[in-house]
C-alpha cells in the first residue's frame, strides 16, 4: 500500500517518528474506504521521493489508529498535517494537487 519511503505511523511510533523528528514531517491521515484518500496516496508517495532527505512522510490509517485521529481532532479525511520540531505547523483537509502539497511543504522546510 505505501512505498518504503512512506512510514506507517501508529500510536506506538508516532512520538519517535514525528514529534521527535529533526526534519519536517508530512502526515497523511487516511482510510481505505475514502475515495479522495486513495486519490491523494500516489501524490504523497511521489512527494516522499521528491523530498527525500528533506522531509519525512508518514501515513495514519484512522480506522486502525482512532486514538491518534482523536488526539489531532481529525474530522474529515484526507487530512494532511505538517509537523516541525514536534509541533503541528500546517494542515490541509481534502484532496489537493501535487503542486499545492509542494507549496505547503516548501513553506515549512
Those residues with Cβ within 8 angstroms of residue 35's Cβ, 6 or more apart along the chain or in another chain: none
Helices (H), the chain: 14, 35-50, 66-71, 98-106
Instruction: Indicate which residue of 26, 27, 37, 57 is catalytic.
Output: 37
Q: What is the rounded distance in angstroms from the CA atom of residue 27 to the CA atom of residue 72?
A: 11
97 catalytic, yes or no?
Answer: no
34 catalytic, yes or no?
Answer: yes
**Closest to 88 measured CA to CA, from 38, 10, 25, 28:** 25
Instruction: Indicate which residue of 6, 25, 27, 34 is catalytic.
Output: 34
Is residue 26 left, alpha or beta, with left meaning phi > 0 and alpha meaning psi from -120 to 50? beta
Q: Which residues are catalytic?
A: 34, 37
Amino acid at each position: 500500500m505505501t512505498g518504503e519511503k512512506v512510514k506507517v505511523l501508529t500510536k506506538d511510533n508516532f512520538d519517535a517518528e514525528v514529534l521527535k523528528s529533526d526534519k519536517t514531517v508530512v502526515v497523511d491521515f487516511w482510510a481505505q474506504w475514502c475515495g479522495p484518500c486513495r486519490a491523494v496516496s500516489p501524490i504523497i508517495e511521489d512527494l516522499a521521493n521528491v523530498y527525500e532527505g528533506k522531509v519525512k512522510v508518514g501515513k495514519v490509517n484512522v480506522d486502525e489508529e482512532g486514538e491518534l485521529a482523536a488526539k489531532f481532532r481529525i474530522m474529515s479525511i484526507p487530512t494532511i498535517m505538517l509537523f516541525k520540531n514536534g509541533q503541528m505547523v500546517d494542515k490541509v483537509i481534502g484532496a489537493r494537487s501535487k503542486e499545492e502539497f509542494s507549496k505547503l511543504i516548501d513553506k515549512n522546510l
